[in-house]
Amino acid sequence: MKTNDELKFGLPGPGAVHLCIDMQRIFAEETPWHTPWMRRILPQVCEIASRHAERTIFTRFVPVQKPGDAEGNWKRYYERWEEMTLEKLDPGYVELIEELRLFTPPAQVLDKKVYSPWVGTGLHAQLQERQVDTLVVTGGETEVCVIAAVAGAVDLGYRVILVTDALCSSSDETHDAMLEIYANRFSMQIETVTTEAILRAWDQPSRK
């Protein structure tokens, strides 16, 4: 897809937060949920987090202890992926990738039990208290946890800026298709730019 190098709706401003989705060992390393090119986007995510660590929130997807602890259809999900429950898995795999842990604190870690970071976490209330109006989104996977985060943010009225070279998936085909949908079907609510573009824009106020 073609990515814009300029933000359509102006600079991010003081109400912007970097929301990084599920950049964890469980996906970056050789597990059944391995996302092969997560480490390929790590330098871009690190660059954004290093410039704005105090305004970065890392989410972590935390599996249930055992399949019977899951609710509704998630029970079937964890029966399929029983080896990825906490009673079977080394809990260290839930941690962020080591390079990203260096930013915490001041960066914040937010644990979630489902794809969406808006369910059962208090994230929206926290962002409202901090007067956040813009989310700069990175992480993975583009068409799973990222879309859950983005859809919720759009519904809640946040400005959403997707950093296309700081997103990853285990499927190139659906990743590319999802980026097309973000850029074309949500063009009034989602902006798609590169890491270079978002950093250039986000850093501008500090140079005035």
Query: What are the pLDDT tens digits along the chain (208 aa)?
Result: 445 577 888 999 899 999 999 999 999 999 999 999 999 999 999 999 999 999 999 999 999 999 989 999 999 999 999 999 999 999 999 999 999 999 999 999 999 999 999 999 999 999 999 999 999 999 999 889 999 999 999 999 999 999 999 999 888 888 888 888 888 888 888 999 999 999 999 877 544 4
What residues contact 173, with CB distance under 8 A and at least 6 apart? none
The DSSP result for 97-144, as a single string, is PHHHHTTTTTSEEEEESSS-TTSSS-HHHHHHHTT--EEEEEEE-TTT
Domain residue spans in the chain? 16-62+96-207
Assigned fold of 16-62+96-207:
Rossmann fold (3.40.50)
CA–CA separation, 9 vs 188, rounded Å? 9
Nearest CA to 195 among 14, 12, 47? 47
What residues contact 2, with CB distance under 8 A and at least 6 apart? 183
